Amino acid sequence: MKDHLGLIAKQEEDGEESDLALCLGTLNPKTQTAGKEDKAMNPNSTKLDHDLNEVPDLSLGLELKRAPDREFGKALSADNAGSSSLRESKDDADQQEANAKRARVSVRARCDAPTMNDGCHWRKYGQKISKGNPCPRAYYRCSIAPGCLVRKQVQRCAEDLSILITTYEGTHNHPLPLSATAVASTTSAAASMLMSGSSTSSVYNSMQMQSQFVPPSFSMQFPSSSSHPTITLDLTAPSSTSQFRFPHSFSTTPWNSNVGPLQIDYGKRSEIVPSLSLPYLAKLKTESAQILPSQHAVLTDMIAGAITSHPSFQSALAAAVTSCIGREHGAARGLVREGLSYDDVHVQREEKMMKLPQMQSVPMYSTILNSLNLNHNSQ
DNA sequence: CGTGTTTGACCCGCGC
DNA sequence: GCGCGGGTCAAACACG
């Protein structure tokens, strides 16, 4: 792990405090040792750091959790069908399960292979020719754990056969290989975002308020009649709806390339969040390693502005790919299985976060915290 | 022989 | 109520 940007933010919304953790970094399988060091320091984390060889090169992600900490445990219990004792009520759990079932996360990506390799193990259980698309739609369910309800649909785009549309539904109720945590945390958090819901008008207004982050051709779409709220992450080529250009010229390459829009589909309405998509953040991370310290402030102000101005983007960031945060989630689940209380788990989680020196060394980190007036947890 | 895929039948929700 | 289409089931089949 060469460089890493970590961010723990506290924010208050509608009188409710929540934590926001952002993590941008590079994970190289050959140089990645943090997990192994953790293992040496904390034997309890052994099962959580497996499959290090499958660590992707790029890690980018975010976790959003509600305070106080018992809510963290509650969220985990809802995420884990096997820990029913931690549920506050069966109705709540049923409701969350139903929500998780209905919310969908769709990923559009150029891919020659029949399916995207998302690190998970899938068993195909059906195939259909759907109306309006000559390409068959394949149905898969997660085969890692027998009781896992997560499913995905894979279908080629009718307009462009090189584009593969993968739709995920549900939340895994079992530990995942590290290579699978990125997509899993994305779908899980995005589903949570959908079920929490955000007003289209408020999103639009907040983007207008922060015009620095609004591209010239921001557009809204209301095309869907789907009964399933769906968030679509477009990882394909440059989009006509997204012509965002980085406002300063320290970057050596155009910042409007490969910026796919993030489309949030609430069924009857949808919105597009184009300015800071996953590939954009990945690019941002890559180029941040090349910029001068004096340029950090500009970059971090931009990130801070985006985070604070855009309620949906906060959640979308929460859905961003993260092996770092995903590992923390996995750690918590594993420790709970080993009989530790959620308070113990949270303490160990905080300790692990503080042991990541790279989380404290990047100048952008403190700058972002200052910009956001946020609480710095890793010191 | 165990595991995964294929494929026709079936179920169910939705719109008319 | 009926038809349509999406989604799932399960028996047959393929493969290592």
What would the pLDDT profile of A19-47 be if each residue is shown by its tens digit? 434 433 333 333 333 333 333 333 333 33
Instruction: Answer for A139: CB within 7 Å of strand C.
Output: yes
Instruction: Answer for A126: CB within 7 Å of strand C.
Output: yes
DSSP E strand stretches across chain A: 4-13, 16-26, 58-66, 104-110, 122-129, 136-142, 151-156, 163-169, 220-221, 230-234, 262-265, 270-273
Write down the pTM of the prediction.
0.49
* Nucleotide B13, nearest residue via CA and C1': A227
Instruction: Answer for A102: CB within 7 Å of strand C.
Output: no
> What local confidence, expressed as pLDDT, does residue A137 receive?
92
| Percent share of chain A, pLDDT over 70 | 23
For residues A353 and A332, give the distance between their C-alpha atoms in angstroms, rounded to a whole number.
Answer: 13
Q: Which nucleotides of strand C come closer than 7 angstroms to any CB of the protein? A: 4-10
Cβ-contact A291, A367 below 8 angstroms: no
For residues A320 and A20, give the distance between their C-alpha atoms in angstroms, rounded to a whole number.
Answer: 12
For residues A324 and A322, give the distance between their C-alpha atoms in angstroms, rounded to a whole number.
Answer: 5
* Nucleotide B5, nearest residue via CA and C1': A124
Residues packed against strand B, CB within 7 Å: A 121-128, 138, 143, 225, 227
Q: How far is CA A57 from CA A270, A290, A322, A379, in A?
A: 32, 17, 11, 26
DSSP for residue A212: G
CA–C1' span, A74 to C8, in Å?
31
> Which nucleotide is closest to A126, CA to C1'?
C8
> What local confidence, expressed as pLDDT, does residue A228 receive?
67
Q: Return the top range by mean pLDDT from A84-93, A279-288, A321-330, A337-346.
A: A279-288
Q: Return the top range by mean pLDDT from A132-141, A328-337, A367-376.
A: A132-141
Instruction: Answer for A128: CB within 7 Å of strand C.
Output: yes
* Nucleotide B3, nearest residue via CA and C1': A123
